[in-house]
Structure 1
Amino acid sequence: MTAAAGTTWMAQLTGVWSGPGAGQTAVISGATRWSGADLLGHAAGAADWLDSLALPVGTPLPALVSTTLEALALTIAGAATRRPLAPISTRLTPRELTACLAGLAGDLLLAEPAAADLGRELATATGRRLVVHPPAAASDRLLTDRLSADQPGPDETALILHTSGTSGVPKAVYVAQGKLAVRGRVNAAIVDLAPGSVYASGSPYHHIAGLGMIAVALGAGATVVCAPPFSPRNWQDLADYGTTHALLVPTMIDRLLAEGALALPTLRVLQYGASPIHPDTLREAMAVLPGVAFVQIFGQTEGSPVTCLNFDDHRLAATTRPELLRTVGRAAQGVELRVVDPGPDGSGEIRARGEHLFQPEADGWLHTGDLGHIDSDGYVTLLGRRGDRIVRGGENVDPLEVEQVLSLHPAIREVAVVGRADRRWGQVVKAFVVPADPRDPPDVEELRLFARESLSGFKVPAEWEMIEILPRSAAGKVLRRVLQS
């Protein structure tokens, strides 16, 4: 069986890494390399360990884990035995994690050894029983033999991811085997992942850009590098493994450019997303990596990819259509898009329908909550989140539009715009500005006049505040609710 023939992610995975693929390198972590046979053997060992926990079939296993060999083996074991792993962030507070666990059945909590202290605190707070995962051990039984007698179906859960929680408590998203298999094929084609590729993600394991893309890479037969937490040094070390494909969020690209560390000699494809990127940042990155193909994917934990700005789009943007860098591209393969409740300017909520979208609403459409418009060529421009929209005296203001204008000012390094309650107007626009030079912040009146050149008066911020850094989630998204508090 080939990966393309698999109707489930588990069939994809075992089809690639058993048989002829068994001897190929599947996963790299430091000096350790697992072949396809090693990966499936350790997954079988992890399945035996799950059996020893007496965890009922169908019960999720929340896990405080990072991108390690053990976590990968356990993820595959959970998907194979219908006890899906639900990785949760070790960067969240116990209060936030308690809210995540409240939505998951069962009474167990898994932690890797490095997260054992947090696990104990969380277990005490929630009444769950903590289990610390031991080092990976292979099984005498083959995972394929086990699956031949009991293969999970397309509608059964392969793994559970949580949303980033930028607008509140992270929500659990149950990822079905069949949908993950389709997503694997769609996403692998977009980023050109195939046997021989070596893939690394800069995103944490619990994130759709972490485990979600690792699942795609493994299903496509690419080698996965278990990358340590992001830093410029760790990024440069990826060349030692022959990394050809990588994913970064815009804040990581900014940092690497600032430190002169973005260039990676083995890199062929750079995927970015999760939050908006400044066009100047992208142009600079493309100049530093002239032989690298760039691709941007827009999506959500509930469903991705929705759109993509593909390799050709970036080449076109570098020559005749620079305005494309302000879009998130066009509908991904198999995705239908529409704009709901458009205003006079044609913008409204972007909704998507496709076979690989994990959690659509009852009407079959994924309600993204993202506001934007679609031009005549199909390119999507985002204007912000529905919940972020500011209503000033009956007029709608989309924060992202204001931020995009202000970010062009040379004295502004970063900016975030929110609505502040106002008795007269209902809300007024407030801008939080990170100066390019903290010792010489821009004049507010100058910024106001600059904004007014491109924006209607009601969209120009009425209030301004200079800050050192914008609060962000682990995925690099600005936490507007923190700024509004």
Structure 2
Amino acid sequence: MLAVGTSGSTGEPKTVLLSASALVASAELTHARLGGPGTWLLALPTTHIAGIQVLVRSIVAGTEPGVMDLAGGFRASGFAAAARSVLARPGRHYTALVPTQLSRLVATDGPGLAAARAFDGVLIGGAATPPSLLKRARDLGVRVVTTYGMSETSGGCVYDGLPLDGVHVRLVGGRIEIRGPVLALGYQGGERFGEWFRTGDLGRVRADGTLEVLGRADDVIISGGENIAPTLVERVLVAQRGVHEACAVGLPDPEWGQVVAAAVVPEDPEHLPDPEALRAAVGDSIGRFAIPKRVIFVSELPLRGPGKVDRRAVAGSFG
């Protein structure tokens, strides 16, 4: 049995109890979806489930993973150096990253991007990946596979919107629930899971039958009686020229209950996007009720856990 902590991004961190059978099932189902076992590059910390699963998959595959030194942070040059020995081995090659890491690899046409292109599968998870980043990476030849999951599901269990074989997903009141062999036993000293695990995430099914994750239910902004998913606001913002990243949060308001506010990371700090143009884009795409009442520009978004934005810290930055 493995005890692994959650990131605590929406409350107090918990310790999840994972059986060996759940971890192995996740690894085997991942390999089946990707096209077979292979050699993995570990580019994530092993204090989180995404990094742990790279090691489990390597054990199941009978291969020795490459390990990237993250002591000085993630850099494209370091990724390329660590990938060299992995890619030199026969067979298939995989790695797992968070969106911020992928963004740095595709930022310039250098050895980091060349290495990313050489992998048979690059799993992206841990946080919502902007569609613009996915398109750019795929247009550049990176075989990106988006993943959705959490510690409670032994990591990613929905790939590119489709559950792994044997994993079932349903929506109950808009909330995502998951069933399958990858589920944890429960929380240490607390709740034990039943047949279905009720996540804290909201989702919807696209026209093509794939799952679209809309973000945490706790993060929904209620303004003037309208429910606003921050993820949808963020997708509009990052699609605008000059925007690198964005985070939308709800701020208390005596008249509306909450109002939408957005922290934006510009691509070029010397040439900031027009806040009014950003607001207009949100209004045109979603509706006037979702327009951010406040927009601030920041150098980076605070993180909590691997690639996850700390929304509480973002809200606090508005004063």
> Normalising by the residue count of structure 1, what TM-score does the alignment of the two structures yield?
0.59
**How many angstroms does 1:246 deviate by?**
1.2
Displacement after TM superposition at 1:362 (Å): 4.3
| Alignment match of 1:355 (pick from 175, 181, 185) | 181
CA RMSD of aligned residues (A): 1.9
Secondary structure in 1 matching 2:50: coil
Structure 1 residue 376 displacement after superposition: 4.7
In terms of Rg, which structure is larger? 1
Look up the match of 1:471. 302
Matches for 1:61-210 after TM superposition, within 5 Å: 157=1, 159-194=2-37, 197-210=38-51
- Aligned position for 1:449: 280
Superposed CA offset, 1:98-145 (max 9, x none): xxxxxxxxxxxxxxxxxxxxxxxxxxxxxxxxxxxxxxxxxxxxxxxx
Using the TM superposition, give the Cα deviation of residue 308 of structure 1 relative to its aligned residue in structure 2, in angstroms: 0.7
The correspondence for 2:102, drawn from 244, 250, 253, is 253
The residue type paired with residue 199 of structure 1 is: W
Letter matched to residue 4 of structure 2: L
Matches within 5 A, 1:11-50: none
Q: Deviations over 1:185-238 (max 9, x none)?
A: 2122123342xx221121101111101221122112232123211322221113
Is the CA contact 2:41–2:83 (under 8 Å) kept in the aligned structure 1? Answer: no
Q: Does 1:217 align with 2:58?
A: yes
Of 286, 290, 293, 2:138 maps to 286
Partner SS state of residue 421, structure 1: strand
Q: Does structure 1 retain, via aligned residues, the 8 Å contact 2:283–2:289?
A: no
Separation of aligned partners in 1, 2:145 and 2:81:
22
Equivalent in the alignment of 1:237: 81
Report how far residue 293 of structure 1 moved: 3.6
Count of residues in correspondence between the two structures: 299
When residues 438 and 376 of structure 1 are mapped into structure 2, their CA distance, relative to the original with a 3 A threshold, is closer
* 1:317 alignment counterpart: none
Q: Is the 8 A contact 1:188 1:217 kept in 2?
A: no
Q: Could you say which residue in structure 2 is the equivalent of 1:299?
A: 149
What secondary structure is seen at the aligned counterpart in 1 of 2:127? coil
CA distance in 2 between partners of 1:476 and 1:167 (Å)? 14
Matched residue, 2:90: none
Structure having greater relative contact order (Cα 8 Å, sep ≥ 6): 2
CA gap 1:362/1:245 in 2 versus in 1, 3 angstroms: closer
SS in structure 2 of the partner of residue 212 of structure 1: helix
Offset at 1:359?
4.4
Q: Indicate the percent of aligned positions where both proteins have the same amino acid.
A: 33
Contact 2:27 2:56 in 1 (8 A): yes
> Post-superposition shift, 1:383?
1.3
CA distance in 2, matches of 1:192, 1:224: 18
Looking at structure 2, the residues matched to 452 and 224 of structure 1 have their Cα atoms a distance apart, in angstroms, of: 47
Q: 1:424 to 1:259 in 2, by over 3 A?
A: same
Contact 1:247–1:271 (Cα < 8 Å) also in 2: yes
Letter in 1 for 2:136: E
For 2:301 and 2:27, the matched residues in 1 are separated by 33
Q: State the Cα distance separating 1:258 from its structure 2 match.
A: 1.8
